[in-house]
Structure formats: C-alpha cells, structure tokens
Structure 1
Amino acid sequence: MKIRVALLDDESLAIEELKSMLNAYGFIEVVATFTNPQEALDKIPDLEVNLVFLDIQMPGMSGFEWLEKLDNAPEIIFVTAYDQFALKAFEVSALDYILKPVNTDRLSEALERIKKRLKPDNDQAHKLSIDKRIFIKDGEQCYFVPLAEIFLLESVGNYVRVYYQDKKPLLHKSLNYMEEKLPDEFFFRANRQHMFNVTHITNINPYFNSTLQVELKNGIKVDISQRQSVRFKDKMGV
C-alpha cells in the first residue's frame, strides 16, 4: 500500500524540490501539491491523504492556523527554515519537524516514522467493541476504563485526556490513534481536539455558522466543526 501525500508550501520551488525527493521512494505517492493554504483546506479532506508536508510561515495563514481549521487531520510533517517552532509543532501532535534545506537522510528518517505509524498490526486492524476496557497508566495511578463509560476524549499534545465517571486520566496515545480503535457507532470526532460518546449526549443545539454543539451528561459542552456537523446530522438523523 502506498502512502498518499500532499505538499503545502507557498514557495513553488520548495514544493518541486521536495516532490522530486519523495518520488525516489516507491511507497510514496504525491497526490496533490498546494501553494495556497485555503485551496489545500478545501481539497485535502476529499483526497484521503495519509500525510501532509506542511510549511509554517505562509502569507495569509500560518501552518499552525491551517492545521487548526482542518478536521480529521492526517499525519503532519512540518518543513520549515525556522527552528524556533519545533516545540509548538510537537504540541499539535506533528509526526516530525524537518528544517530546510531538506536533507535526504533526514527525510528518510521521517518517512520511516510514517511507515511504522501506518503499518497495520493485529491490534490496529480491528476496532474495539464497546464492552471492552482499556488500561491507562497515568503517573503512579492505573485505571481499567470501560469504553461504554467514556464520554469524552480530548487531545493534549501527543496524548489524550480520557473523561469517564469523575476521572480524567491521561492516555499516552494520540486522538487520531484512538479514533482508529474506538467503535464508530458510539464515538464521533467533533473537531481536531475532541471525540465524544454519542450515548452520553443530553442535548444537541444549533451553534454558529450552521455548526452544532452537544451537551454531555456531565454538563460539558462540545462544539462540532462545520464539516463534522454535516456528518453528525447524517449519522444521528437530526
């Protein structure tokens, strides 16, 4: 299986150089390139890409601002001439951070990471059933958490805050990973930061710009992005 890749950089030359380097890897397929962040924002959700190489400093919209607007983001590798954004990059769960000019060895290292991240194994190939429990070790505390009791998952950098009962331990997995593992009929991705259990909803309310807001049993309110609101309405028949 080839890894589907998109490139976003306001410099055409940088895109052509990176694309040429990526073409040397047989498991990589560059399916789209963009110099305009808004165009990429409009088109990437329909391209089913696994990975985006993303510049940071672009006119009109930074790479971080662009990422905030994208629902269900694929894996991200930042490619930039500036090293001062590295910490923030990993706070938003970037897979890697490469400095320009891109070095072949450094690129190969990053691509090995994406291969390992996307490689299916016996655990990742199947969804968990709702009657299962997951084990969470948060510091010195250990938790066996029934999936049915989880009402909210919140992205915290490369980790996930799991809300159930009156507890909220930190799980050392990404929200994208949990989205792949949790059963779709119960858990819904509201936006880049949140996923909730639909069985714990008490209210669904209209929100800004045709979006929705759900209220969960504990009173927590979660905003659903515009794109995901459309999917949620289809899913729930509202």
Structure 2
Amino acid sequence: MTERKPTALIADDEPLLREVLRRRLAEAWPALQIVAEARNGREAVEQLEALQPDICFLDVHMPGVSGVEAARRIGRRAHLVFVTAFEQYALQAFEHGVLDYLVKPVTPGRLAETVLRLQERMATAQPVVHSDALLQQLAVQLARAAGVAAPGVEPLRWVRATVGGALRMIPVQAIAYLRADTKYTLVAWNDDDGAAVEAVIRLSLKELLAQLDPSQFAQVHRAVVVNLGAVQRVTRGDNETAEIALKGRPERLPVSRSYLHLFKEM
C-alpha cells in the first residue's frame, strides 16, 4: 500500500512570498505536497473545504478575510502555521506552542523547526488543539503589534481599584503605567492634585493588556505596560535596553531589548 503523502495549502496575497515558501518547503520537506495556493483568507477556506489539506500556512494580514479569521473558519480541520512580518516578541499567543508561526522572511533554519514539529504531531496523530478562544487571543496580540484595535474588542475605559478602603473608578487615560505583580497588577496614576497614587487590582497584566487601546498603551517589558502619553523621555542604555522617565512621577521604567523598536526614532 502506498503511504499517503501529507498535504498543505499556502495563503498569502504576495505571489513572490508564496513562491519562496513553496520552494523552501520543497527543500525542508520533500514529501509534502502543496495542493493549493490562495490569495486571501476567503480563498484559503474554499480550498480547505475542497481539498482538505493537512496543513494550512496562513499569512496573518491578507485583504478581505485575514489569516486569523480564516483560521477561525477552518477550525480544527487542519494544522495551522501563521506567517507574519512581526517579530517573536509580539506573538505571545504562541508561547505554549499550540499554534506555530513563521516570521518573514522565512529562514531555512526556522522552517526546519516548524516542519519537525508538524511531522511529530502528525506521526503521533496528535489532535489539532487550537480553539476559537486561542485564536481570539492571537487576534488581540497581533492587533496590538500592528498598533490597531482588535476586532470585536472594546478598549477599556475605567479600572476599579480599592484605595484606603474606598472603591475608586480610575479613568484609563489617567493611568501612568501598569506593572505585573504575580497574578495581580499594580496600577499607577496621578490623582486630581497631581499626587502619585498606586493600587493593586485582581487582574493579571495579560488580561488588562488585551483590553487596552494599543494606540495609547504599549508593553515595554514583560512585566510593564506604559501609557505613552505619560512618557517624559526615554534614555537608551549601553546594553540594548532603555529607561523611561514619567511625567510627574519619580519611577524609572525599564524597556527591554525586545521592545526597543517602539522608540526607534531615539
């Protein structure tokens, strides 16, 4: 009996990028058959339904139906690999390896790692485990990386915190920064008199970040999110890091190497 060869489709609105990925897949996984190519998410879903490939390589940002939306429609019918122009630091939704990704330009080494993981999953008949909730998380993370609001997510306007035994409703625009504190988050803001105030709330930084307006708030460290309007100056260090000075506050916030791109005009 002839062994069935694995199959895949490639979806990208750039023909040259589809060709590059097809060529590199042929080198990294000769047995893989590319059964279809698509120019957008709608075509990807149509090809999936017609040809039922094992794997879908989906460009995240395509006109019309995006790669993330296409993945939602594909559901668990195929293993997914997202192809994106964003660096690894922006892809927190992939931290646990449930979904795989490739960063453009796709390098042979990174593609070889992805191919190995796909081969292992298919050889052991591991189920496709991504879920709609995980894809929503991915949509939020990628939207933040692009500096736009995620579809279907209303930016947070108020944060509730207990200060001195009293419940305070803190306008989000008044927050200077947020810092992770185990499962909680420290919220720092200035009150009406300009005094620096802090409170700890029972939400994780990750939960809050998904609800913040990405045009106003930016993650600058794995444990710190800053209100860009509260930044007074950014000083670059000697070891590819930086430090943020805030308006009306004494703290200095760290900027890790992965987030220096936010201040590339320095």
Q: TM-score, normalised by structure 1?
A: 0.47
